Chains A and B, each alone.
Chain A
Amino acid sequence: MHKRNLILVILFSLILLAVPISSILAADQAVSGAEKRPLAQLLTYAEFQKANPGKDLAVYLAYQETYLLDQFPGRDYLRRLTAAGRIWGLGQQDNNLYYKLEGHLSKLDPKLSGAVVKRAMELFNRTFLSYFEDSRNPVFALIPDKNYYLAEKGGYPHYDYQALADLIADSLDPKVSFLPLFDRLSLEDYYRTDPHWDQKELTGLASWLLEQLGSPSESLDYTEVIYEPYLGTFAGQAALPVTPDRLTWLNHPVLLDSALYNPVTGETGGIYREDLLSGTDPYDLFLGGAQALLELRNPHGPRGRQLTVIRDSYGSSLIPLLLPSYERITVIDLRYITMERAAGLTELAGDSDLLFLFSTSVINSPGAFLN
């Protein structure tokens, strides 16, 4: 008994001491690759106060707790272990709302909020009537999130997607065509480890959308460029074992010659930002990720033909495929900028083609939009 107690005490002490020692020896990480977020850094009280004016010592101490959590040795390994324990040990159906089915990770989104959707639709109608009433072919395309294809099959709770589509159809200005994309997509069109769709699966959809916008489309011979392994945002958040994806982007001389201008920052660059592949989220490759306002200029596009896309992040990977049919595409994300501010920063063409492109998850998300 005495010997066994000695072993227990030694092992307990080793575990308790190993953590602080390895914390001191290992350098702090700036970003969590798995969780796609910056990690808290060690700050002195003075540095903390400088960064957070008005916050007292108690808040600083709470921040220290966050810092230790973020920089804990073996953090990702322990998160995966815990997720496995929950799913396979305790038989839980999801881990922090994330579940895995048919090799895909998805996030539960069981509640439809009619009020939230209506508020979003009021914003879109206001945007249309104030800025784009002269648009030739205004279109609203609704992208289903992955739950649409997975939840029912796995017995996971989900809302009635048809009810959401009906609500949008009823609320949308009658001059705007409503195009739910439920039947035009399938689960295979999405990444396994990320909520977004896979650009290489979208060429057919892009052609069809161009038709709906009344814009001529030509079949282009794209070159596939691949980045792998790609672990999307769901992979890190779910912490469940999953086969990594391939991040494929479609390139073409037209796209290589095109330019992306950011009126907010004044920066100009390419359509695909390969420098961001090593950042927190490789999906930022497409149009530089979360951007409030962008102008895409195609020197080979039909002269004077313009498109405005009011979009969420799904738009980033689809819009490059629409670009060959336009001379200019203006991209607005109302989650990060108001229409008033966007109109002040860029020249909006009221008679351009207009595409509202939103996923069900963003439309149904409270407080997603700025106004």
Chain B
Amino acid sequence: MLFSSLTFLYYFLPAVLVLYFILPAGWRNGLLLAASLFFYAWGEPRFSIIMVSTAMTGYLAGLLTGRLKDDRKRRAAMISGVALTLVPLMLFKYGGFITDNLNLIFQDRLAPLRLVLPIGVSFYTFQILSYVVDVYRREVEVEKNPFYFLMYVSFFPQLIAGPIVRFQTIQQEIRDRRVTLDLFASGVRRFIVGLGKKVLLANMLAELGQKISQQAERTVLALWILALAFTLQIYFDFSGYSDMAIGLGRMFGFHFLENFDYPYLSRSITDFWRRWHMSLGSWFRDYVYFPLGGSRTGKWKVIRNLLIVWLMTGFWHGAAWNFIVWGLFYFVLLLIERAGFKKVLDRLPAPVSIFYTFFWVLIGFVLFNANSLTEGLSNLSGMLGLGGLNHSDSMALYYLKSYLPTLLIAGLAATPWPKRLYMSLRSGSEGLMEYAGMAGLLILLVFTTGSLIDGSFNPFLYFRF
């Protein structure tokens, strides 16, 4: 089930909320667990078994690791738990890629593996892995109640598209939490804003991309519009989802950590990755980069560590060469910044360094958005005017004109300025602006609903991860 679906918004969510607040406190976790399993099963019922069994693998691995005293045995239990937890991800997500590439070497001797990816497998696998490792490191208490652990993994606000919530973030709140009116209201606000970002901006930008792809000729202008639209779309899609997850969490008394911090205002690539998909960045930092030695080691080892992290980051996003090259692309950019270019960027005027960062992020997303590495490279060369493409055609110009206000609104909405403007107006006349803000939110909800009814284009980009 999608958050941005009428089924979720007007049937599932009200039903769960009503039941949640009329049931005695002791029943609420049970309700959330049942609701989460129903939520997951709605899209692909058979994948629920994989999700639940992976969660139980992590639970048992945590239990075993926590019980053992001997460090070697604890380590063995943790490694076994990590390996077993990774099995579904490796099989369903990477099995096809691995067999395809082995077949290139062994001349098609292996049967190609074509499996449908279970929704959200990359997210919940990483959550479970973080728990098992944290238990080993004694950074989190072992969860003895399997239902609580399953609830952590399957909790519907963050189950299928993150953010990657660590067990320690919500362990206490699973057992004991309180939903105040103010917390619930802040959750409502955050949820509606996220829904608006997703439905009114990301979907509209996706529509622009789709129209350009289907109707315009392949021209330099069309490729640049596609690149810009996708760069904005993926931000509003994913950050909108994160906002909805955070908002829903608050409605049920949970506090999830932030996942985005206006990444398109970053002044360097280093800065960008501190502000984009923060829960994934910090996961790779804490569970891959630091264990490899991080930056506190020799120069070549640091380079090796970075290379591993960025290869894995690329591969996490998709089992295809264009994602791996996308990861390597960031490895190179970050290496250049580490070599001293970051200091140069820091001294440049903010608009220049922000433009520099946005430019490379946009270039990266051309590779990311392609169906293959060849297509990605071909699109990049087309954007540079290579390959004999025309500069523009009437369709690309028409859609640029038609969607220019949407692009401008999206560009503005990717900055903190609208929020700052609202806050400064509110400080002048708090009551009035609060009511205006409230009316704005409810209008946003109505328009979002209308758009969901009107539009059929409603994919979540991050589901494929």
Contacts and interface: CB of A to CB of B under 8 A. Distances in A.
B7 A65 contact: yes
Interface residues of A, number: 44
A224 to B, nearest CB: 37
Contacts of B182: 1-2, 5
Contacts of A90: 204, 405-406, 409
A8 B441 contact: yes
Contacts of A248: none
A20 B14 contact: yes
A179 to B, nearest CB: 29
B188 A12 contact: yes
A130 interface: no
Contacts of B9: 16
B5 A65 contact: yes
A11 B192 CA distance: 13
Contact of A93 (B11, B13, B401): B401
Interface stretch (A77-85, A282-290, A323-331): A77-85
5 contacts: A16-B14, A79-B454, A82-B454, A90-B204, A92-B403
Contacts of B204: 90
Interface in A73-99: 75, 78-79, 81-83, 85, 90-94, 96
B202 to A, nearest CB: 14
A82 B7 contact: no
Contacts of B450: 78-79, 81-82, 85
B6 interface: yes
A1 B395 CA distance: 49
B404 interface: yes
Contacts of B45: 57-58, 61
B376 to A, nearest CB: 26
B185 A93 contact: no
A83 B450 CA distance: 9
B111 interface: no
A78 B453 contact: yes
Contact of B6 (A2, A69, A156, A157): A69
A105 interface: no
A8 B189 contact: yes
B42 interface: yes
B42 A61 contact: yes
A93 B402 contact: yes
A79 to B, nearest CB: 5
A78 B402 contact: no
A17 B402 contact: no
A6 B181 contact: yes
Contact of B11 (A15, A68, A92): A68
Given A20-B14, A23-B10, A110-B215, 15 more contacts: A9-B188, A19-B6, A19-B11, A61-B42, A61-B43, A68-B10, A69-B452, A72-B449, A78-B446, A82-B450, A85-B450, A90-B406, A94-B402, A110-B395, A157-B394
| Interface of A: prevailing SS | helix
Interface of B: 5-7, 9-11, 13-15, 17-18, 42-45, 181-182, 184-186, 188-189, 192, 204, 215, 394-395, 398, 401-406, 409, 431, 434-435, 438, 441-442, 445-447, 449-455
Contact of A5 (B10, B43, B181, B402): B181
A205 interface: no
Interface of A: 1-2, 4-9, 11-13, 15-17, 19-20, 23, 57-58, 61, 64-65, 68-69, 72, 75, 78-79, 81-83, 85, 90-94, 96, 110-111, 155-157, 239
Contacts of A16: 9-10, 13-14, 17
A4 B454 CA distance: 32
Contacts of B15: 20
Contact of B394 (A7, A65, A82, A110): A110
Nearest to B207: A96
B445 A1 contact: no
The 3 closest A-B pairs by CB, nearest first: A5-B185, A82-B450, A78-B450
A113 B186 CA distance: 53
Contacts of B5: 65
B454 A96 contact: yes
B189 A93 contact: no
Given A16-B9, A20-B10, A64-B7, A75 B453 contact: yes
Nearest to A87: B402
For B10, B186, B447, the residue with the greatest tally of chain A CB atoms inside 10 Å of its CB is B10
A81 to B, nearest CB: 5
Given A17-B14, A61-B42, A90-B409, A4 B449 contact: no
A8 B454 contact: no
For B15, B186, B449, the residue with the greatest tally of chain A CB atoms inside 10 Å of its CB is B449
B400 to A, nearest CB: 11
A78 B395 CA distance: 29
Given A15-B442, A81-B446, A4 B14 contact: no
A68 B215 contact: no
B188 A8 contact: yes
B184 A9 contact: yes
Nearest to B186: A5
Contacts of B405: 90-92
Contacts of B10: 16, 19-20, 23, 68, 72
B453 A58 contact: no
Contacts of A96: 454-455
Contacts of A1: 182, 434
B288 to A, nearest CB: 35
B240 to A, nearest CB: 17
Contact of A92 (B406, B441, B447): B406
B454 A9 contact: no
Nearest to A61: B42
B206 to A, nearest CB: 14
Contacts of A20: 10-11, 14-15
B54 to A, nearest CB: 20
B435 A68 contact: no
Given A68-B7, A68-B11, A78-B446, A239 B454 contact: yes
For B402, B431, B438, the residue with the greatest tally of chain A CB atoms inside 10 Å of its CB is B402
A75 B455 CA distance: 12
B413 to A, nearest CB: 13
Nearest to B398: A157
Given A15-B445, A58-B45, A68 B434 contact: no
A23 B442 CA distance: 20
A9 B181 contact: yes
A93 B215 CA distance: 15
A98 to B, nearest CB: 12
Contacts of B42: 61
Nearest to B456: A69
Contacts of B14: 13, 16-17, 19-20
B181 A82 contact: no
A119 to B, nearest CB: 20
Given A16-B14, A61-B43, A92-B403, A82 B215 contact: no
B395 A82 contact: no
B418 to A, nearest CB: 16
A155 B434 CA distance: 42
For B13, B43, B454, the residue with the greatest tally of chain A CB atoms inside 10 Å of its CB is B454
Contacts of B445: 12, 15
B278 to A, nearest CB: 27
Contacts of A68: 6-7, 10-11
